[in-house]
Amino acid sequence: MSEHKRAIVRGVADTFDQAVAVYFGTGPSDVDEAKRQHDTYVASLRKFGVEVKELPTDNDYPDCCFVEDQVVVCDGKGLLTISGHDTRKGEQDVVKAGLESELELSRMTQPARMDGGDVIKFGDKYLVGISTRTNREAAQQLRDFVTPMGYTVHEIPIPSNALHLKSIASSPAPGLILAPRVYFDENSFPEDAEVIWVPEEEVYGANTIGFDKDILVADGYPNAHKALTDRGFNIHPIEMSQIRAGDGSLTCLSVFY
């Protein structure tokens, strides 16, 4: 059974063309198209049976659709992060309001800085990217949060040419990781992980969301798609070009709980 049953999402702001964009492009150029792509994303989650709660957007926060960065969820509890980018801290109030009736919430404390895009739940482990947005203090606070629930934390250094762990990797199914080799070394992932390496030029295609045998993927990454279909998965590509232009991937647009 997929772990992806309920999710929050947040609409694309009218100001999305001012989103922070450093890695995948120079910023969104067509906000209406970004909104259409977001609508298709939300419809796709619903198609896979996810109960989706839509939170109001806020034009004061161009990046506010990327809800994933604001909280990390573990077994009915949520740990609110301290955003790794100062302009994004104010996005959290609405995320907190949307989740506080659903989850028991607590907060990280300074000097922790974390974006949820650096966290992959992987069986009984949380893989945590140590990046320009997420520091080791935050990894330790996440460890303190998940250890009582029976999980461990595995830290992974993220090279400076990538935003988050999930900008360059995902776990489309239990035990499986999809990632480009060049961003990682042989010790990056846990020993028991089966890693499918995708070509470097398809790094964006490494971000996926799995629903058992069905996998939501970004359109336009044929080698990543083939690697998944060769393993018997059904892939469901959606257009992400304008979301990508704001450095966002599929996972960034939702928090599953």
Pairing verdict, β 214-218 and 234-238: parallel
Which of 164, 196, 158 has its CA nearest to residue 180? 196
Is 74 strand, coil or helix? strand
Interface with ligand CIR, residue 134, by CB under 6 A: no
Cβ 238 to ligand CIR shortest distance, Å: 16
Interface with ligand CIR, residue 154, by CB under 6 A: no
- Tell me whether residue 220 or residue 231 sits nearer to ligand CIR (CB atom): 220
Among 117, 129, 180, 210, interactor with ligand CIR by CB under 6 A: 117
Q: How far apart are CA 146 and CA 124, in angstroms?
A: 10
Cβ neighbours of 232 (radius 10 Å): 7
Interface with ligand CIR, residue 202, by CB under 6 A: no
Instruction: Choose the binding region for ligand CIR from 102-110, 180-188, 191-199, 248-256 (rule: CB under 6 A).
Output: 248-256
Residue with tokens 């080799």: 181
Burial class (CB in 10 A: 0-12, 13-18, 19+), 36: middle
Among 16, 61, 66, 126, interactor with ligand CIR by CB under 6 A: 66
Among 68, 91, 155, 202, interactor with ligand CIR by CB under 6 A: 68
Is 114 strand, coil or helix? coil
Residue nearest to ligand CIR (CB): 117
145 and 109 in contact (C-beta within 8 Å)?
A: no
* Binding stretches for ligand CIR (CB under 6 A): 19-21, 63, 66, 68-69, 85, 88, 115, 117, 163-164, 166-167, 246-249, 252
